[in-house]
């Protein structure tokens, strides 16, 4: 019986070699610096909980180093791995797909509720689960969403500072650039991530301060307009999105409840707010494929009546879409509307990333499901009931999908019915 491996405290310090990846080491280090200082705004003494695909180990190590240099308390990383994830789908007993490790998520909720910062490194293979049983995929997702809800709530209500960055995982690179040899694909994805994350600049932390100022200007203009609704028109789209009563637009860096200002997404190009869950009408067509939990949903077309999706189809992944919509009552209603100009650097790269963190920042988007309670005036003092009354949606899911393009026009409609041009041909007026 070996107890030693459970109890030992000081592991031997032989570093396993990292794979040689065609990634600019200097820019990867800048990305780690941006994640810690701009993304998290990590405060001295704060603990950090990170989740990452195993392939992102080089970035995990750099972030950990910058976090400790910034005075972090304890940095903990939970890894995920494609091979072991697939081992579950192919070998685990059927009933296990209704289970989730609640003990872990309880611990995470406890951590986020006591000032631990949260960082996620995105970079999973977007098609990892494309060939697995959609029923198992949706059951496992649902069980996870339920178990994770208390922790997720701490994140969506900004109880603590959090951030998502990404790493050019080889499996992801191969999906984005399927016709390139692997090393070229990784190099191209790395370059695109660095450009979108603004770490090409000499001083990326200063570049982010400028970018935040631009996003804050747009946010402030929208907040001053007090629009009652937005009207989207374009090919296949004629959609009126009523905005929640007392909604507030957000975008760029924002303060969390623990007093720390963070940039939750790196990259980010959006300003966003809460739609009214019962005042969305018309039809809308997606403009980019949606990569959802390892599957792809393409050419979504839905019709809304009084906030609720009454019909939905997709050219690809329709079964998954229907299951998503059946998650709960709130899954058929909107929780977010976001404005992104067609000229955003991510859109201009012309790359489809198969990753919401990037693709949602290439186009205006809407999200099915849970709203951000932060996107209200006086959000701190609103009860869940008040948020619901004012039009905020609640659901186990929050799924962004892209409806913007160079062909989309948006008008703001005021309470008195006056129309103000907001976007023309995909750009701010």
Site residues (vs Zn ion, CB under 5 A): 270, 272, 336, 338, 367, 400
Give the helix/strand (H/E) hosting 378.
none
Is-cis flag, bond preceding 389, omega within 30? no
Q: Which is nearer to Zn ion, 75 or 362 (CB)?
A: 362
Could you please report the per-residue DSSP string of 25-42? HHHHHHHHHHIIIIII-P
Strand ordering across the sheet containing 334-339: 271-273, 334-339, 365-369, 398-402
Smallest distance, Zn ion to C-beta of residue 68, A? 31
Backbone angles phi, psi at 67, to 5 degrees: -65, -45
Q: How far is the CB of 385 from Zn ion (least distance, A)?
A: 23
Number of neighbouring beta carbons within 10 Å of residue 191: 18
CB of 92 to Zn ion, least distance (A): 30
How far is the C-alpha of 340 from the C-alpha of 426, rounded, in Å? 8
Residues listed for the chain? 429
In the complex with Zn ion, the residue whose CB is nearer, 194 or 401, is: 401
H or E stretch covering 208:
helix 204-225
Name 302's bridge partners.
284, 312
Give me the half-sphere count of Cα atoms (radius 13 Å) on the Cβ side of residue 82.
18
Paired with 76 in beta bridges are: 49
Nearer to Zn ion, 229 or 338 (CB): 338
Pick between residue 62 and residue 239 the one whose CB is nearest to Zn ion: 239
Q: Which two tokens stand for residue 376?
A: 């209200």
Taking the least distance from each CB to Zn ion, the nearer of 159 and 400 is 400
Query: Would you list the DSSP string of 91-143?
Result: HS-GGGGG---HHHHHHHHHHHTTT-EEEEEE---TTTTTTS-HHHHHHHHHH
In angstroms, the Cα distances linking 359 to 272, 287, 346 are 15, 10, 8
The rounded distance, in Å, linking the Cα atoms of 239 and 286 is 12
Minimum gap (Å) between residue 281 Cβ and Zn ion:
21
C-beta separation of 56 from 123 below 8 A: yes
- C-beta closer to Zn ion: residue 336 or 374: 336
Sign of CA dihedral 350, 356, 358, 360: positive
Shortest distance, position 252 Cβ to Zn ion, whole Å? 12
Smallest gap from Cβ 162 to Zn ion, in A, equals: 14
CA dist., res. 71 & res. 87, Å (int) = 38
State the minimum distance, in angstroms, from the CB of residue 106 to Zn ion. Answer: 25
- Kindly tell me which of 162 and 272 has the beta carbon lying closer to Zn ion: 272
Q: Which is nearer to Zn ion, 97 or 272 (CB)?
A: 272
Residue 400 CB, nearest approach to Zn ion (Å): 4
Nearest approach, Cβ of 372 to Zn ion (angstroms)? 8
Toward Zn ion, which CB reaches closer, 272 or 353?
Answer: 272
Is 21 or 367 the residue whose CB approaches Zn ion more closely? 367
Q: Are 282 and 302 in contact (CB under 8 A)?
A: no
Q: Please, what is the minimum distance in Å from the beta carbon of residue 249 to Zn ion?
A: 12
Tokens of 358: 């990037």
């Amino acid at each position: 019986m070996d107890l030693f491996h459970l109890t030992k405290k000081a592991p031997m310090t032989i570093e396993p070699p990292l794979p040689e990846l065609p990634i600019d080491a200097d820019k990867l280090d800048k990305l780690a610096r941006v994640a810690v200082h701009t993304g998290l705004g990590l405060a001295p003494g704060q603990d950090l909980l990170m989740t990452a695909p195993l392939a992102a180990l080089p970035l995990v190590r750099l972030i950990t180093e910058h976090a400790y240099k910034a005075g972090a308390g304890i940095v903990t990383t939970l890894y995920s791995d494609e091979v072991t994830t697939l081992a579950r789908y192919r070998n685990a007993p059927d009933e296990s797909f209704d289970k989730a490790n609640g003990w872990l998520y309880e611990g995470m909720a406890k951590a986020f509720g006591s000032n631990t910062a949260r960082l996620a490194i995105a970079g999973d293979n977007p098609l990892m689960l494309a060939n697995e049983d959609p029923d198992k995929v949706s059951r496992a997702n649902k069980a996870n969403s339920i178990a994770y809800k208390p922790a997720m709530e701490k994140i969506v209500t900004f109880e603590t500072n959090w951030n998502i960055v990404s790493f050019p995982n080889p499996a992801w690179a191969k999906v984005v650039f399927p016709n390139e040899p692997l090393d070229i694909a990784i190099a191209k994805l790395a370059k695109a991530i660095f450009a979108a994350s603004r770490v090409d600049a000499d001083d990326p932390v200063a570049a982010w301060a400028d970018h935040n100022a631009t996003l804050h200007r747009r946010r402030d203009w929208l907040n001053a307009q007090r629009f009652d609704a937005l009207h989207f028109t374009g090919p296949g789209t004629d959609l009126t999105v009523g905005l929640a009563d007392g909604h507030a637009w957000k975008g760029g860096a924002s303060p969390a409840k623990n007093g720390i200002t963070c940039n939750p997404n790196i990259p980010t190009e959006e300003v966003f707010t809460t739609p009214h869950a019962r005042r969305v009408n018309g039809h809308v067509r997606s403009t980019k494929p949606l990569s959802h939990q390892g599957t792809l949903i393409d050419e979504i077309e839905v019709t809304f009546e009084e906030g609720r999706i009454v019909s939905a189809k997709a050219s690809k992944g329709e079964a998954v879409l229907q299951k998503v919509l059946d998650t709960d009552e709130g899954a058929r209603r909107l929780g977010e509307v976001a404005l992104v100009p067609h000229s955003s650097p991510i859109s201009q790269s012309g790359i489809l990333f198969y990753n919401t963190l990037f693709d949602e920042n290439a186009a205006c988007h809407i999200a099915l499901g849970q709203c951000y309670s932060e996107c209200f005036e006086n959000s701190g003092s609103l009860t869940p009931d008040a948020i619901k009354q004012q039009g905020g949606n609640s659901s186990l899911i929050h799924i962004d999908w892209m409806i913007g393009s160079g062909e989309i026009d948006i008008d703001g409609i005021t309470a008195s019915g006056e129309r103000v041009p907001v976007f023309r041909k995909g750009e701010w007026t």
